[in-house]
């Protein structure tokens, strides 16, 4: 009680005399300096964007869950008769083969980006972090695909992959080798698309790791080299672990990128015939002639549940960083 009154007095004195006195107590009662008008203004500054965020992102995410329990087809009004419980999910699991295909492709997408593209990006970063000549030049080139839209990337790679007019098959034909239809053959088109997606992902990862490597305390490397570690050992046993925060971000980004993958398969063949992904199954079912709104929403819920994993990882990382900072 007396403590509080003292604080108040201090604060008054502080605000009259400028900065000097209020220091120790300021942190706790920062709001006390704010007028009523200020508080309303701050409320609006946060409230309006928060309303939009809830109305257009979190609201629809929740409504997706509700719709996933219906067989609503959007052509008639939605009523209680449309409620089918978990029927959509049963159908997804047992009577809709594209769902498992799509899920499998999303997993493959993640594995290829995580286990192939990400290490390549990291390797480029390690090479370019040493002060070799032209490091910036190489960086610019490896990074270039990242600024391109995935739709443009799909078309650029079509010029490579096309069976009749593409570069790759023209070269293979010159050597009398078989000429696969890279984007057309359902056994290989996912891999062909993944090459294009990785082409972009590598540059992204490289930039993030370059920033991470710059932030590693040089004395750690010196200490390691004094202890007799070579470059590779230093990276493997010291640098990689010091960069743990970046590693977490990269796993999160890679997971989310592979769940979001859409543009590139859509521009190739609208995500059909070997290129099914959960993301395209959602739109192809619910926003199309089929009008299977409820069924599409059920796939969206599956995608939502999966994406909560990286999101929770990221948020807990964010909280930990916040408290440790």
Partner 1 sequence: MTTVTAVTPETKPVRSRRRPIQWGNIGVHAFLITMAVVWLFPVLWAFYIALRSFADTTLNGYVAFPSSLTLDNFFNAWTQGDLARNYIQTLAVVIPGVILTLLIASMVAYACSRYSWRFNRLILMVFVAGNLLPQQVIIVPLYQLYLALPLPKAVSDTGVLYDQLIGILLIHIVFQMGFCIFVLSNYMKTLSKELTEAGLVDGASVLRIWWSIILPLCRPALAALATLEFTFIYNDFFWALLLIEKGAKRPITSALNNLQGQFFTDFNLLAACSVLVAIPTIVVYVVLQKQFIRGLTLGSTKG
* 32-61: contacts with partner 1 (CB under 8 A): 33-35, 37-38, 41-42, 45-46, 48-50, 52-54, 56-61
Task: Write the binding mask 169 to 188 for partner 1: x where contact by CB under 8 A, - elsewhere.
Answer: -xx--x--------------
Least distance CB 164 / partner 1 (angstroms): 9
State the nearest-atom distance from the C-beta of 143 to partner 1, in Å. 7
Which of 99, 110, 142, 235 is close enough to bind partner 1 by CB under 8 A? 142
Q: How far is the CB of 169 from partner 1 (least distance, A)?
A: 10
Q: How far is the CB of 85 from partner 1 (least distance, A)?
A: 18
Convert residues 82-101 into a mask of x (bound to partner 1 by CB under 8 A) and - (unbound). --------------------
Residues 244-303 that bind partner 1 (CB under 8 A): 245-246, 249-250, 252-253, 256, 259-260, 262-263, 266-267, 278-279, 282-283, 286-287, 293, 296-297, 300, 303
Name every residue whose Cβ is closer than 8 Å to that of residue 121 and which is 6 or more positions away in sequence: 201, 202, 203, 204, 205, 206, 208, 209
Q: Contacts with partner 1: how many residues (CB under 8 A)? A: 116
Sequence-distant (6+) residues with CB within 8 A of 110 are: 254, 255, 258, 259
Q: Which is nearer to partner 1, 274 or 310 (CB)?
A: 310
Pairwise CA distance, residues 90 & 105, whole Å? 20
Q: Does 162 bind partner 1 (CB under 8 A)?
A: yes
Q: At its nearest, how many Å lie between partner 1 and the CB of residue 100?
A: 18
216, two tokens: 């590693």
Q: Does 110 bind partner 1 (CB under 8 A)?
A: no
**Closest CB to partner 1 among 2 and 72?**
72
Among 67, 112, 194, 238, binds partner 1 (CB under 8 A): 67
Q: Is 8 left (phi over 0), alpha (psi -120 to 50) or beta?
A: alpha
Q: Residue 31 or 80: which CB sits closer to partner 1?
A: 31
CB of 13 to partner 1, least distance (A): 12
- What is the closest distance, in whole angstroms, from the C-beta atom of residue 146 to partner 1 in the complex? 8
Of positions 159, 223, 244, 290, contacts partner 1 by CB under 8 A: 159
φ, ψ of residue 256 in degrees (nearest 5)? -65, -40
* Binding piece for partner 1, criterion CB under 8 A, among 80-88, 91-99, 177-185, 216-224: 216-224
**Which window, 87-95, 175-183, 186-194, 316-324, contacts partner 1 (CB under 8 A)?**
316-324
Least separation in angstroms between residue 1's CB and partner 1 is 23
């Amino acid at each position: 009680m007396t403590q509080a009154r003292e604080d108040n007095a201090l604060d008054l004195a502080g605000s009259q005399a400028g900065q000097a006195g209020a220091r120790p107590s300021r942190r706790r009662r920062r709001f006390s300096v704010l007028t009523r008008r200020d508080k309303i203004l701050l409320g609006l500054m946060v409230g309006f964007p928060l309303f939009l965020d809830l109305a257009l992102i979190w609201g629809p995410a929740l409504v997706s869950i509700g719709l996933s329990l219906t067989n609503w087809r959007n052509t008639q009004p939605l009523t209680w008769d449309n409620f089918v419980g978990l029927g959509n999910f049963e159908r997804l699991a047992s009577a809709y083969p594209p769902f498992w295909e799509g899920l499998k492709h999303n997993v493959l997408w993640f594995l290829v980006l995580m286990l192939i593209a990400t290490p390549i990006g990291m390797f480029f970063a390690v090479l370019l972090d040493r002060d070799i000549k032209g490091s910036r030049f190489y960086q610019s080139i490896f990074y270039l695909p990242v600024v391109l839209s995935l739709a443009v990337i799909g078309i650029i790679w079509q010029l490579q992959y096309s069976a009749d007019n593409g570069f790759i098959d023209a070269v293979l034909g010159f050597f009398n080798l078989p000429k696969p239809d890279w984007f057309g053959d359902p056994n290989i088109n996912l891999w062909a698309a993944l090459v294009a997606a990785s082409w972009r992902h590598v540059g992204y990862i490289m930039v993030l790791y370059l920033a991470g490597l710059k932030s590693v305390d040089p004395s750690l490397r010196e200490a390691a080299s004094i202890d007799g570690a070579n470059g590779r050992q230093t990276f493997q046993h010291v640098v990689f672990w010091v960069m743990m925060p970046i590693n977490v971000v990269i796993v999160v980004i890679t997971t989310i990128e592979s769940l979001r993958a859409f543009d590139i398969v859509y521009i190739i063949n609208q995500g059909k015939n070997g290129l099914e992904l959960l993301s395209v199954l959602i739109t192809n079912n619910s926003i199309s002639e089929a009008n299977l709104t409820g069924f599409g929403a059920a796939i969206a819920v599956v995608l939502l549940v999966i994406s909560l994993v990286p999101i929770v990882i990221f948020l807990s990382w964010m909280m930990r960083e916040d408290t440790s900072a």
